[in-house]
């Protein structure tokens, strides 16, 4: 999860988030190069009075500053489209979890099991135990097996919500009357925190999401104990 005064992204926990981090670094380098070039040209224009008349009217220069931005946009667009298609890909999910947004809590249903569902409420500050995080802990965590493809079906029963877990690269809107889906696959065990990312009313800030990724054997024991 994020730490105080953090400037960058959270550590990636899924292959999609790793791709997003690489794409961010790739795009940021292009922005740095363009900014450096523009600042260098501006500084030259401000510090020298020399002009080159043939350069000012040259067709070659106009051709370059037309084609070069187009090439840069292609270098940004191609990896971006690749990641978009990867995020929409559904590869034989091993487990399906339906998530419903409410004012102001989440409810989860494991559709592959006959009667495995629960509500997830934020733990009030006065009930927190030592070491637990304020405004982020919940009474029922979403336990999922790691290194398996999991499909999340996301919707809402009242207003717009958004189910977001930054370290997994997930952010999907929960819309009343519409079922959105996304996939996730955690590469290591641990607790991963998120929050509702769509303003949904007075208690919008109190809808945390906690995913607990565990090995498959532990998940099977947990699912049996919940039934």
Summarised one tens digit per residue, pLDDT across range 1-57 is 778 888 888 889 999 999 999 999 999 999 999 999 999 988 988 888 776 666 666
Q: Are 83 and 16 in contact (CB under 8 A)?
A: yes
- The tokens for 185 are 């696959």
Q: Name the residue range of residue 147's domain.
A: 95-226
- Say how many domains are in the chain: 2
Q: Across residues 59-77, what is the average pLDDT?
A: 89
Radius of gyration of the chain (CA): 24
Cα-based distances in Å from 88 to 172, 179, 180, 184: 12, 14, 11, 11
**Do residues 110 and 71 share a domain?**
no
Cα-based distances in Å from 165 to 65, 88, 118: 40, 17, 19
**Do residues 101 and 34 share a domain?**
no
Q: Which of 88, 107, 126 is the last residue of a domain?
A: 88
d(CA 101, CA 160): 8
d(CA 166, CA 194): 6
**Do residues 144 and 209 share a domain?**
yes
Residue 67: predicted pLDDT:
93
**Do residues 214 and 140 share a domain?**
yes
Tell me, what CATH number does 58's domain have? 1.10.287.90
**Do residues 129 and 218 share a domain?**
yes
Please tell me the pTM assigned to this model. Answer: 0.84
- The tokens for 61 are 């220069």
Residue 53: predicted pLDDT:
62
Element (H or E) spanning 2, and its range?
Answer: none
Residue 6: predicted pLDDT:
86
Residue 182: predicted pLDDT:
92
158-194 pLDDT, tens per residue?
999 999 999 999 999 999 999 999 999 999 999 999 9
Go through 1-30 and write b for each residue having 16 or more CB atoms within 10 A of its CB, e for each that does not: eeeeeeeeebebbbebbebbbeeeeeeeee
d(CA 71, CA 48): 30
Q: Does some domain include residue 6?
A: no
**Do residues 176 and 213 share a domain?**
yes
Average pLDDT, the chain: 90
Cα pseudo-dihedral 84, 85, 87, 91, rounded to 10: 180
**Do residues 105 and 213 share a domain?**
yes
**Do residues 65 and 124 share a domain?**
no
Q: Across residues 86-113, what is the average pLDDT?
A: 91
**Do residues 199 and 137 share a domain?**
yes
**Do residues 154 and 211 share a domain?**
yes
Q: Which residue has the tokens 């500050």?
A: 125
- The tokens for 141 are 């965590």
Element (H or E) spanning 221, and its range?
Answer: helix 216-226
Tell me, what CATH number does 155's domain have? 2.60.40.420
């Amino acid at each position: 999860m994020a730490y105080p005064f953090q400037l960058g992204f959270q550590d990636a926990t899924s292959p999609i988030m790793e791709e997003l981090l690489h794409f961010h670094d790739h795009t940021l380098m292009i922005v740095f190069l363009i900014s450096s070039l523009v600042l260098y040209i501006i500084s030259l224009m401000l510090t020298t009075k020399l002009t080159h008349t043939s350069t000012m009217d040259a067709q070659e220069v106009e051709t370059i500053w037309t084609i070069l931005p187009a090439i840069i946009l292609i270098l940004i667009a191609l990896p971006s489209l690749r990641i978009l298609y990867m995020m929409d890909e559904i590869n034989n999910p091993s487990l399906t979890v339906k998530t419903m947004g409410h004012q102001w809590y989440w409810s989860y249903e494991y559709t592959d099991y006959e009667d495995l569902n629960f509500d997830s409420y934020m733990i009030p500050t006065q009930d927190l135990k030592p070491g637990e995080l304020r405004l982020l802990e919940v009474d029922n965590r979403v336990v999922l097996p790691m290194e398996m493809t999991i499909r999340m079906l996301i919707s809402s029963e009242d207003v717009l919500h958004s189910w977001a877990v930054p370290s997994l690269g997930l952010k999907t809107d929960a819309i009343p009357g519409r079922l959105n889906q996304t996939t996730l696959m955690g590469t290591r065990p641990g607790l991963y925190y998120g929050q509702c990312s769509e303003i949904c009313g007075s208690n919008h800030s109190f809808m945390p999401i906690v995913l607990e990724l565990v090995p498959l054997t532990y998940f099977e024991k947990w699912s049996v104990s919940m039934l």
